[in-house]
Chains A and B, each alone.
Chain A
Amino acid sequence: MDPLLYVLDLIVYIGIFGIVALSLNLEFGFAGLANFGKVAFFLIGAYSYALLSQIGLPFYLCLIAGALISSVFGLLISLPALRLRADYLAIVVLTFGEILRLIVKSESWLAGGDWGIAVSPAISLMGASHRVNALVNIGLVYLCLVICFLVLQLLANSPYGRVIRAIREDEVAAEALGKDKAKYKAQIFMLGSAMAGIAGGLYAQYLQCILPGMFMPMISFTVWIMVLLGGPANNWGALLGAGLVELFDRGANIAKDYLILPVDPSNLQYILFGVLIILVLFYRPGGLLKESQIKTKALELARYARGTDKNYRS
């Protein structure tokens, strides 16, 4: 295979899963919501994109509609989530993802059932090579990634971000300060699901086909690995985690072709994933990068007054 194309493909994957990792980071890292069914919203985005592009909508509308539909489902799922403990929520969302997969698998009139359907690429250039197509995809995916990243960075440093961290740390205290935890959790679920939906749409149009087998619970767990490894409540950490996990994935695939190992690398890869997560949980539960500091004007001023902020030291 063309090595350059392989690298470009890797970059697209990091971008798409970077968006999903950012969205889980918002839900789990900042708001403490254990969404074990991330793949459900990824699936909704992908199938919405595929079905809407078939009736001839332009790609950007398909992406936006996928995000909206996904966020509506996020709202629906968040309604029970408001009252449930973390473990119950995890099981509900995991099961929700499996039900969705079962539906798209069984209803072959909807999207081809087990065999899936073809999806037209977002931007198709006449006679362009694979490399050019990959470059176009990188442009599109990273545009979405940057938008999501900036939105989340602004959110994290806004009063809103401080409220959701407060709810994560102590719901009762946050409620005592008049913060409606139900409203905030619902909003976080909607925003996170919308982002996962966009990533799903990008994934569908990049692979140019979708089938139920692409949306196994494994996807959700892979995204969890990205967030836990990179560092929850740190948007850079989520991106770092996405990059590392995808690199690791490719490394294992290359190892499969070129190395002779006693263990099949495709098995070894997931065994190592498991070991890695357990090591992270034991020795670095905060991930590689620490939780991002809250930045506010008042804090900057306070640091300046104490002369402890490097940027302001004379």
Chain B
Amino acid sequence: MEVNWAQVLFNSAITGSLYLIGAVGITLTYGLSNFPNFAHAELITLGAFIGYLVAEQLGLGLPLAVVAAFLITGAAGFLCYRGIFQPLAKRGATIIHLMVASIALGFILRYSMGAAWTWEPLYFSNVWPVSSLWSHHDIGPLRVTGLWLWLIFAAIALSVIMHLVLVKTKIGKAIRATSSNPELALASGINIDRVIWITWFIGAGLAAIAGIFRAADTQIWPMTGWDIILPIFAVVILGGIGNFYGAIAAAFIIGLAENIGVVGLVALGLSTTYRIGIAFLILIVTLIIKPQGLAMLFRRA
């Protein structure tokens, strides 16, 4: 069987880009608040539905939908933290209780969305400028769509912007300081509550962007986020919790592993439904062998 390796690499970049955008929020909030927010899956889904609401149901176009989804989901993420996780942590809830609370919150969000938009899959239809995004173009051996190019562009832009924010700006430095040593950050006059709130807002907003891309590429239903949450956790863990640069590397490693893995599965005559299992396997192996992930290779940020 002839394998189009250029396409495999390109597909890896697409998968990795999606996972990266979804993972940034989890890895930063995990690093700051010290628990994995399972409700991040539902924030991804919420972004997709808000995007659908604005672009399709209100007919305001995709660009506005992306902005609205970012802001509304960001606000939802902030409210989740401010309303539930922060007060629980102040009452002395353990990490297990916080995880359970995030799953419970996920239930509330997921089934509320199920009630609002039903469980039937929805699709972005061909309204401008979306219609141009799905048509296939063949560039040499590659088959690309505008959507995929946008996705890769978004991931690169995100990486550059986040890097600049984390290194150059005051808030970025505050995020890094709070993540590595909250007490010292507090003593240095950083308002750590505000830093954590802003991080939850940005993280949830980025989840919404990932949700819209995922929804545009496949479908929207209340499980849109849950379908990709475990590979995203694999990215977070492999990259090292709270480590943005590690997450970039991990996203593309897992993208490559999944897409090369599919080629391998076909060659071995196994079902391609195992594709998602590749990320699961990386997740488990990382946790067993080296729970700190790639963090030792990168500066903590």
- Asked whether A102 is an interface residue with its Cβ less than 8 Å from the other chain, the reply is yes
What are the interface flags for A217-232 relative to B under an 8 Å C-beta threshold, 1 for contact and 0 otherwise? 0000100100010000
Inter-chain CA distance A59–B174, complex, in Å, is: 62
Given A84-B291, A102-B273, A282-B91, is A96 in contact with B97 using a C-beta cutoff of 8 Å?
no
Given A90-B96, A105-B273, is A281 in contact with B107 using a C-beta cutoff of 8 Å?
no
Task: Check B271 against A106 for contact (C-beta < 8 Å).
Answer: yes
Task: Check A264 against B115 for contact (C-beta < 8 Å).
Answer: yes
Given A98-B280, A224-B100, A282-B88, is A87 in contact with B111 using a C-beta cutoff of 8 Å?
no
Inter-chain CA distance A107–B274, complex, in Å, is: 10
- Asked whether B93 is an interface residue with its Cβ less than 8 Å from the other chain, the reply is yes
Q: How far, in Å, is A200 (CB) from chain B's closest CB?
A: 21
Q: How far, in Å, is A274 (CB) from chain B's closest CB?
A: 4
Which of A28, A80, A228, A277 sits near B288, CB closer than 8 Å?
A80
Q: Which of A88, A105, A221, A276 has the most C-beta atoms of chain B within 10 angstroms of its own C-beta?
A: A88
- Asked whether A278 is an interface residue with its Cβ less than 8 Å from the other chain, the reply is yes
Task: Check A270 against B110 for contact (C-beta < 8 Å).
Answer: yes
Inter-chain CA distance A271–B110, complex, in Å, is: 8
Inter-chain CA distance A223–B68, complex, in Å, is: 37
Task: Check B230 against A95 for contact (C-beta < 8 Å).
Answer: yes
The secondary-structure label for the interface of chain A is helix
What are the interface flags for B93-132 relative to A under an 8 Å C-beta threshold, 1 for contact and 0 otherwise? 1111101110111111011101100000000000000000
- Asked whether A92 is an interface residue with its Cβ less than 8 Å from the other chain, the reply is yes
Q: Which of A105, A107, A267, A275 has the most C-beta atoms of chain B within 10 angstroms of its own C-beta?
A: A267
Task: Check A87 against B104 for contact (C-beta < 8 Å).
Answer: no
Task: Check B88 against A87 for contact (C-beta < 8 Å).
Answer: no
Task: Check B96 against A34 for contact (C-beta < 8 Å).
Answer: yes
Given A98-B230, A271-B115, is A92 in contact with B287 using a C-beta cutoff of 8 Å?
yes
Which of A88, A277, A281 sits near B93, CB closer than 8 Å?
A281
- Asked whether B262 is an interface residue with its Cβ less than 8 Å from the other chain, the reply is no
CB-nearest residue of chain A relative to B109? Answer: A274
Residues of A within 8 A of B88 (CB): 281-282
What are the interface flags for B289-300 relative to A under an 8 Å C-beta threshold, 1 for contact and 0 otherwise? 001000000000
- Asked whether B36 is an interface residue with its Cβ less than 8 Å from the other chain, the reply is yes
Q: How far, in Å, is B300 (CB) from chain A's closest CB?
A: 17
- Asked whether B277 is an interface residue with its Cβ less than 8 Å from the other chain, the reply is yes
- Asked whether A259 is an interface residue with its Cβ less than 8 Å from the other chain, the reply is no
Inter-chain CA distance A282–B281, complex, in Å, is: 35
Q: How far, in Å, is A49 (CB) from chain B's closest CB?
A: 24
Residues of A within 8 A of B233 (CB): 91, 95
- Asked whether B151 is an interface residue with its Cβ less than 8 Å from the other chain, the reply is no
Residues of A within 8 A of B146 (CB): none
List A91-114 residues whose CB lies under 8 Å from chain B. Answer: 91-92, 94-96, 98-99, 102, 105-107
- Asked whether A298 is an interface residue with its Cβ less than 8 Å from the other chain, the reply is no
- Asked whether A268 is an interface residue with its Cβ less than 8 Å from the other chain, the reply is yes
Task: Check A87 against B35 for contact (C-beta < 8 Å).
Answer: yes
Which of A32, A85, A106 sits near B274, CB closer than 8 Å?
A106
Task: Check B96 against A271 for contact (C-beta < 8 Å).
Answer: no
CB-nearest residue of chain A relative to B271? Answer: A106
List A1-40 residues whose CB lies under 8 Å from chain B. Answer: 28, 32, 34, 36
Residues of A within 8 A of B271 (CB): 106-107
Inter-chain CA distance A83–B287, complex, in Å, is: 10
Task: Check A273 against B96 for contact (C-beta < 8 Å).
Answer: no
Inter-chain CA distance A87–B242, complex, in Å, is: 14
Q: How far, in Å, is B66 (CB) from chain A's closest CB?
A: 27
Residues of A within 8 A of B106 (CB): 274
Inter-chain CA distance A267–B108, complex, in Å, is: 9
List A244-275 residues whose CB lies under 8 Å from chain B. Answer: 263-264, 267-271, 273-275
Residues of B within 8 A of A271 (CB): 107-108, 111-112, 115
- Asked whether B210 is an interface residue with its Cβ less than 8 Å from the other chain, the reply is no
Task: Check A96 against B99 for contact (C-beta < 8 Å).
Answer: no
Residues of A within 8 A of B230 (CB): 94-95, 98
List B137-184 residues whose CB lies under 8 Å from chain A. Answer: none
Task: Check B280 against A268 for contact (C-beta < 8 Å).
Answer: no
Task: Check A92 against B108 for contact (C-beta < 8 Å).
Answer: no
Which of A91, A228, A267 sits near B237, CB closer than 8 Å?
A91
Which of B94, B115, B237, B277 sits near A268, CB closer than 8 Å?
B115
Residues of A bordering B, CB below 8 Å? 28, 32, 34, 36, 80, 83-88, 90-92, 94-96, 98-99, 102, 105-107, 221, 224, 228, 263-264, 267-271, 273-278, 281-282, 285
> 22 A-B contacts, Cβ less than 8 Å apart?
A32-B96, A34-B99, A85-B291, A86-B96, A87-B35, A94-B230, A99-B280, A102-B280, A106-B270, A106-B273, A221-B103, A264-B114, A267-B111, A268-B111, A269-B111, A270-B110, A270-B111, A275-B108, A278-B105, A278-B108, A281-B100, A285-B97
Q: Which 3 pairs, one residue from A and one from B, show the smallest C-beta to C-beta distance? A: A274-B107, A274-B108, A277-B104
